[in-house]
């Protein structure tokens, strides 16, 4: 179960919402890690302001105002903004990361934002969010359609690194288990072939060959008698 720590509702016109939401994020929901450049003390939000600004603008310009309210969630390792209204038929999530035409759901609101200087180009919102994340050392934003709307998610670098480490550990464990199984099969049947190992382990012969090469380089097995010979598994007391 996840407990909610804070909840805020922001209401008002477009300009009030942009200001109030950013103030709430800065004062209550986001931290400002301290770093130094020379003698200068710098405090910047954990997520880049340009990315947050573009996310909010996109939400206001593309929102289905007949649907649910826009929902912003701040979690320990990520920030997610969900907006009612699916993508136009001409666009997909993949196309959002490419050069594309702007198709605002609310063209009058988009025009107002452009005239007051909030929008300086059309169809570059996601590109600007991605660029801001990259400059801040964060992963690429995650975008998906769900529950009749579009969610944009920013992830902290630490969360991305942790996920990468978990995947790396899982892969390492898988590789380790494969090598252990090869050693076990070679002990049970020193004349076992690569094809037989592949069938027993459920992997390709190429994968078997790569694992055998690594085992030989690590000094754990030797081939005795060439192609018609057999495998010798070297025990630890033999090394």
d(CA 17, CA 39): 36
Query: What pLDDT, on a 0 to 100 scale, did the predictor assign at position 64?
Result: 92
d(CA 212, CA 194): 9
CA-closest candidate to residue 60, choices 83, 89, 94: 83
Query: What pLDDT, on a 0 to 100 scale, did the predictor assign at position 1?
Result: 43
Regions of the chain with pLDDT less than 50: 1, 160, 167-168, 170-175, 239
Chain-centroid distance of CA 126 in Å reads 15
d(CA 85, CA 63): 6
pTM for the whole structure? 0.61
> What are the structural domains of the chain?
14-155 (3.30.565.60), 163-238 (1.10.10.10)
Query: What pLDDT, on a 0 to 100 scale, did the predictor assign at position 4?
Result: 60
Measured CA to CA in angstroms, residue 209 lies from 150, 184, 206, 215 at distances of 46, 16, 5, 10
């Amino acid at each position: 179960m996840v407990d909610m720590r804070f909840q805020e509702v922001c209401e008002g016109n477009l300009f009030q919402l942009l200001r109030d939401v950013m103030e709430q994020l800065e004062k209550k929901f986001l931290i400002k890690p301290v770093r130094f450049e020379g003698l200068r003390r710098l405090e910047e939000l954990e997520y880049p302001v340009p990315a947050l600004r573009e996310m909010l603008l996109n939400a206001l310009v593309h929102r289905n105002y007949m649907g649910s309210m826009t929902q912003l969630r701040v979690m320990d390792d990520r920030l997610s903004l969900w907006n009612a209204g699916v993508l136009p038929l001409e666009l997909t999530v993949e196309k959002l990361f490419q050069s594309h035409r702007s198709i605002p759901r609310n063209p009058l609101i988009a025009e107002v934002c452009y005239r007051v200087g909030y929008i300086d180009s059309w169809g570059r919102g996601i590109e600007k969010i991605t660029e801001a994340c990259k400059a801040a050392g964060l992963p690429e934003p995650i975008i998906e359609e769900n529950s009749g709307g579009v969610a944009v998610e920013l992830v902290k670098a630490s969360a991305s690194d942790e996920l990468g480490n978990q995947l790396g550990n899982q892969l390492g464990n898988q590789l380790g288990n494969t090598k252990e199984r090869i050693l076990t099969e070679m002990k049970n049947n020193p004349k076992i072939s690569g094809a037989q190992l592949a069938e027993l382990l459920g992997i390709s012969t190429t994968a078997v060959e790569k694992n055998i090469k690594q085992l030989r380089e690590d000094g754990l097995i030797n081939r005795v008698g060439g192609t018609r010979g057999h495998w010798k598994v070297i025990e630890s007391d033999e090394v």
